[in-house]
Amino acid sequence: MNKFPLWIRKNWSTVIMIAVLILLWVNPDAKAWVMRQMISTGLFNSKIEEKTEESSLVPPNFSLRTENGEITETSQLRGKVVFINFWASWCPPCRAEFPSVQKFYDAYKTNQNLVFLTVNLDDELILGKNYLQKEKFTIPFLVPSSSIPKELYSGSIPTTIVLDKTGKIRMHHSGMADYSKASFYQEIEALLKE
């Protein structure tokens, strides 16, 4: 019986490492925290592409529904820059990038030329709403009301797209990123001026 406490004293660092790994394995918030530290390094940043005729694509129309039942069509948003983020409450990378999405939203929510379409893909919508309320996020809660065009979303979350004022895709990023960086804001400002 006395061998076990002795083993723990000799291998305390292994015990701590195993405990941390178990915590990361079972707790999505712990995973999100680690991922948030990774994106803060700048290694996962996305970049808005320069405008060229060949590289830009106008995706098919896509319909979204608010929690009040109001429908938004992406084709009706021409003349505005559109930030689209596909996410789910169970997704640790989504949780990792959400504080930066909220910060970006807070900085630009009053700008009439920028539209935020944050699209929840939870199987049960209440899970997404509960997550936003728990974390006190105020971003728009939208769900698809039509099939999502493959040009926008291919199954990987989080996925973020930025459409320019003509409706062309100028950024398509799968995976987590930091949208609260000054460099991203400068790219958005340039798009707003086009």
When pLDDT is averaged across residues 102-110 and rounded to a whole number, the result is: 96
- Can you tell me the mean pLDDT for 26-44? 69
List Cβ neighbours of 24 (8 Å cut-off, separation of 6 or more): 30, 31, 34
Strands of 114-120's sheet in order across = 71-73, 63-66, 142-144, 114-120, 81-87, 159-163, 169-174
DSSP assignments along 141-194, one per residue: -EEESSPPPTTT-SS-SSEEEEE-TTS-EEEEEES-----SHHHHHHHHHHHH-
Q: Say which residue, 43 or 171, is predicted with more confidence.
A: 171
What is the percentage of the chain residues whose pLDDT exceeds 90?
56
Residue 108 has pLDDT above 60, yes or no: yes
Tokens linked to 18:
């195993």
Residue 54 scores a pLDDT above 60:
no
Output 92 or 3, whichever has higher pLDDT: 92
Provide the whole-model pTM. 0.77
Give residue 136's domain range: 1-194
User: How many domains does the structure of the chain reveal?
Assistant: 1
Nearest to 139 by CA among 173, 167, 161, 108: 108
pLDDT of the residue at 158 = 94
User: Higher model confidence: residue 5 or residue 165?
Assistant: 165
Query: What pLDDT, in 10s, does the model give residues 153-180?
Result: 988 999 999 999 999 999 999 988 999 9
At residue 30, does pLDDT exceed 90?
no
CATH at residue 4: 3.40.30.10
Residue 57's pLDDT band, with cuts at 50, 70 and 90, is: confident
Which pLDDT value is given to residue 10? 75
Residue 22 banded pLDDT, cuts 50, 70, 90: confident
Q: Which residue has the higher pLDDT, 58 or 25?
A: 58
